[in-house]
Amino acid sequence: MSERTFYEFFAGGGMARAGLGQGWRCLFANDFDPKKAASYAENWGGDVLHVGDVANVATNQLPGHADLIWASFPCQDLSLAGNGAGLGGARSGTFWPFWNLVKSLRDEKRKPRTIVLENVCGLLTSHGGADFAALCNAIGDAGYWFGALVIDAQHFVPQSRPRLFLVAVDQSMNIPGHVISPYAVDMWHPHRLRTVQATLPERLRSRWLWFAPPVPKPSATRLIDIIEDEQTGPCWASEADTARLLGMMSPVNRAKIDLVMANRHRSVGAVYKRTRMEAGRKMQRAEVRFDLAGCLRTPGGGSSRQIIMMIENGRVRSRLMSARETARLMGLPDRYKLPERYNDAYHLTGDGVAVPAVRYLAENILLPVLNLREPHIVAA
């Protein structure tokens, strides 16, 4: 089988590249952030990397005819924590100059065969679904079949991280029947996705595909497995600080701690500080889980950093999650070189795409589509 080629936009530290893995060759990568770009170059080399605004990239910088364009465009204006600007915002709105490049490639007869757009699920409800409809309209007008699915990283790593993957396939290509379903599948197409899809104009719904990969095998990686054997990151907090953290827990969360302590086994939990409304006023609470870490986020403030809670022999300790532990939660191998500064590393991982989710999508949708030789008729 010939090597597949791709362009990687909004590349960050190259997590999509890590997920695609062997058998794929990157022809061009772009990111605006010089710190993330430095990590990309450190791990993958800088020969195909262009650092700068995507609006200033020209098609003559994009060599060859790529099988895939991967674009994990900025989510800040689409996330629940964002400002609600949507695709008109300064960050998420960079999708449009990127899409102008795609249209220019089409005009040059170098239209990419497949495209994957990855973002937060907030894209589905941004501006009442209008932003998602605008993306679908752009993709459909460019001559693609398309569909979306939500893949949660917890299928592969101990992190709750649902993300929206919008997959487009050139209309000239055939679609293998086993990668699509005639109807929505609950596992991949949650209610809010089905709802917004139903509001699309008929001309767009006629191009829609319900991509439905097989159910992945349960992950064998536990939260305790991501803990570093030799700690390289933040130090353990003082007993007083840990006591304050426990004091921020609701009775429900404190009961989880007491239950684990009673079992006397070494256990690891992940703690997030969140603001909750209680009795009509805002309260900062610490919430713990022992099965999964919460969704990693960029370190915009202290509350966005996850805390490790270790319980062993009746003793409770706490500390910030290390950079290497966040990388493991994203499915990055330990050989992946992280930035030396903690915040830079946390920003890199918290803003990335889960590596095994990329790999799963590539193996179960992208490669079957690209490798298909026999014709297949797609039902509208």
Q: Is the predicted pLDDT of residue 133 greater than 70, yes or no?
A: yes
Rounded to 5 degrees, φ, ψ at 147 are -165, 170
Q: What is the pLDDT of residue 289?
A: 95
Average pLDDT over residues 29-41: 97
Do 60 and 39 meet the contact criterion of CB atoms below 8 Å apart? no
Domain ranges within the chain, ordered by starting residue: 4-218+351-371, 234-321
Is the pLDDT at 377 greater than 50, yes or no? no
Residue 151 has pLDDT above 80, yes or no: yes
pLDDT at 263: 85
The mean per-residue pLDDT over the stretch 327-351 comes to 96
Residue range 4-218+351-371 in CATH 3.40.50.150: yes
* CA 128 to chain CA mean position, Å: 22
pLDDT in the model for residue 92: 58
Considering the chain, what is the average pLDDT of its residues?
Answer: 91
Q: Could you tell me the pLDDT band of residue 85, with boundaries at 50, 70 and 90? A: low
Distances (CA, A) of 64 to 1, 137, 310, 364: 18, 26, 51, 25
pLDDT at 271: 96
Question: What is residue 1's predicted lDDT score, i.e. its pLDDT?
Answer: 58
pLDDT score at 162: 97
pLDDT of residue 89: 55
Give pLDDT tens digits for 97-109. Answer: 999 999 999 999 9
CA distances in angstroms from 70 to 2, 52, 74, 109, 160, listed in the order given: 19, 17, 13, 19, 22
Lowest-confidence segment of 136-140, 294-298, 343-347, 355-359 by average pLDDT: 294-298
pLDDT greater than 70 at residue 78: no
pLDDT of 375 strictly over 90: no
The predicted-structure confidence for 249-284, as pLDDT tens digits, reads as follows 999 999 999 999 988 789 999 998 888 888 888 888
Contact (CB, 8 A) for 47 and 71: no
d(CA 306, CA 295): 9
Mean pLDDT of 164-188: 96
What confidence score (pLDDT) does residue 2 get? 79
Rounded CA gap, 362 and 359, in Å? 5
Report which of residues 76 and 337 the model is more confident about.
337
Q: What pLDDT shows up at residue 182?
A: 96
328-347 mean pLDDT: 96
Pairwise pLDDT comparison (303 vs 62), residue with the higher score = 62
